[in-house]
Structure 1
C-alpha cells in the first residue's frame, strides 16, 4: 500500500490543475473541464472531517463542472460504496502500471530511423500536434497549457519524426525517482510499426538521465492493445482507479 500511495501522490503532483483547494488531506481540483484527472477530487488519503460530498458539490457546481471523484486503491475503503449509493456513476476504469527503468531498456531496442525533438516547456505547436493526433477539439488547448505550465520543472515534451513526418508525441516528468509517462499518441498512419515502443524507450532514457529508477503510467483497462504493449516492455499493474461522477 505504501508504494501505491506514493505513486498516487507523485501522479497527482505531475498533473496539476489550474485550481486546487485542500479538503483535509484530499484535494479539490479544477481545470476548466479539461481531463477528468484535473477536474476531480483526489481522495488517496484519510477521509476529511465534515460533509465532504456537500463541500465537493458546492465547489464544482460553483465552477459549472460535474462533480467528480478520483477513486484509487489508496482511497478510504467505503468511499466508493458511499458515492454509488448517492447516485454517482462509475466511469473510466484504469490501471496504474509501473516498471523499473532497467526492465524497459532490456525489453526494447533502439530504432535509429526516428529523429527526436525535445522541449522543456510545451510550445503552442507541440500542444496543437498533441490535440490533433488525439482527435480532440482545439478548444482544449488552453486547458492543457494550464496543466503543462504547472507541472514540476523536471519535465519534457517530446516529438518523434520519421523522414520529417510527425510520428508520435509524449510527455515525461520525474519526481522523487519516479518517471511519469503521459500524452503518448502515435499518428494513425504510423501505428503498428514500433513507434509507440520507441517513444517509451526514448522517454525512459531521458528519465534515467534525470534520476528516475522506475516509470509509471495510467491506461484505461479497456484499451487492451495499449495494456498488452506496456506489459511486453516490462510494465505491470500496481493498482487500479476509476471515477465517480454526478452531472
Structure 2
C-alpha cells in the first residue's frame, strides 16, 4: 500500500513538474509527450516517458523525426516510473546517459524553520518576470543572451500560481528564484546566487521565502530537481529538510 501511495505521489509530481516548466511545442506519442522549446533546456526539449512503452513499433523513428524537424537532438527524460527496459533500449541505439538528478521533497514548515535573516537583504516578488529579471537570470547562470526568447516564453507560459523572487542589497541583485504552486505542491526552480555573494546563506533565504509564499498560497509541500553531482546544493537542500524521493536522468542521441 505504501509503494502504491508513493508511486501516486511521483506520478503527480512528475506531471506537475511539466506544468511548472512548459514547452513551446508538444506532441503525444501514446502515453508519452514530446516537448520542444527552441533547443533551450533539456527539461523543455525532451520526451517525457511516463507510462507504458508505445505499442507503435515505429515509436523511436517518429520521435527522432519530430526532433530532427526542429533541429534539436532527440533526448529522453527517464525516471523511476518510466518503462524499465527503455534505458537499455536507448543505450543500444547510441543514446548517451547524462545529468543524473534527484527529485527531492520537503514540507513547507520544515523549510521555514531554517530561516537565515539579514536586514540588508531586500526581497521583491514578481507575478511575471520583467526583462531585467530574465536578463539577470541568464547573466548569473552564465548563459548566452540569445536564450532570452526561450526563457521569456517558458516563464510567461506557466499557468499555475507563480512568483519570481529577487534578493538585492545596495541596488545589486544577489540571488533569484522561482516557485510554481499547484495542487498542494510548490515547485522551486531557477535558484541562482551572484558569485560575489556566495556562502552568505542567500540560497537558503531564497528557498525559505519561496516556501513561506507557497504556504500562504495554499500549498504545504515543496519539490525540486537537482543534479546529483551538485554536492553543495544537495547538501544544502538536505540540511533544510529536503529528502530524495526519486531519480531521473536524460538519454541524448550522440551525433557522429
1:160-203 deviation digits (Å, cap 9, x = unpaired): 01232211001110010110000010000110011110000111
Aligned partners of 2:80 and 2:25: how far apart in 1? 24
1:47-95 deviation digits (Å, cap 9, x = unpaired): 2221221111010001111000000111011111111111100001111
Give, in angstroms, the shift of residue 204 of structure 1. 0.7
Q: Normalised by the size of structure 2, how large is the TM-score? A: 0.94
User: Which of 116, 121, 124 matches 2:131?
Assistant: 124
- Report matched runs for 1:206-225 at 5 Å: 206-225=213-232
- Aligned to 2:250, the other structure's residue is in SS state strand
Question: What is aligned with 1:7?
Answer: 13
Aligned partners of 2:207 and 2:146: how far apart in 1? 28
Aligned partners of 2:109 and 2:241: how far apart in 1? 9
Q: Normalised by the size of structure 1, how large is the TM-score? A: 0.97
Aligned partners of 2:119 and 2:178: how far apart in 1? 20
Q: Does the 8 Å CA contact 2:114/2:208 hold for their aligned counterparts? A: no
| Greater mean deviation of Cα atoms: 42-51 or 84-93 | 42-51
Question: RMSD over aligned Cα, in angstroms?
Answer: 1.0
Q: Does the 8 Å CA contact 1:95/1:237 hold for their aligned counterparts? A: yes
Q: Does the 8 Å CA contact 2:100/2:227 hold for their aligned counterparts? A: yes
Aligned partners of 1:225 and 1:34: how far apart in 2? 25
User: Which of 185, 189, 192 matches 1:178?
Assistant: 185
| Greater mean deviation of Cα atoms: 64-73 or 49-58 | 49-58
Give, in angstroms, the shift of residue 102 of structure 1. 0.9
Which consecutive residues of structure 1, in runs of 5 or more, have no partner in the other structure?
A: none
Q: Does the 8 Å CA contact 2:186/2:214 hold for their aligned counterparts? A: yes
Does 1:78 find its partner at 2:85?
Answer: yes
Aligned partners of 2:119 and 2:135: how far apart in 1? 26
Q: Does the 8 Å CA contact 1:111/1:198 hold for their aligned counterparts? A: no
Instruction: Count matched residues.
Output: 247
Q: Does the 8 Å CA contact 1:110/1:201 hold for their aligned counterparts? A: no
Aligned partners of 2:9 and 2:186: how far apart in 1? 14
Which consecutive residues of structure 2, in runs of 5 or more, have no partner in the other structure?
A: 1-6
Q: Does the 8 Å CA contact 1:155/1:174 hold for their aligned counterparts? A: yes
Question: What is aligned with 1:226?
Answer: 233
Question: What is aligned with 2:4?
Answer: none
Aligned partners of 1:57 and 1:165: how far apart in 2? 44
Does 1:162 find its partner at 2:166?
Answer: no
Does 1:88 find its partner at 2:83?
Answer: no
1:197-222 deviation digits (Å, cap 9, x = unpaired): 00001111111111111000111111
| Greater mean deviation of Cα atoms: 216-225 or 152-161 | 152-161
Q: Does the 8 Å CA contact 1:178/1:215 hold for their aligned counterparts? A: yes
- Aligned to 2:208, the other structure's residue is in SS state helix
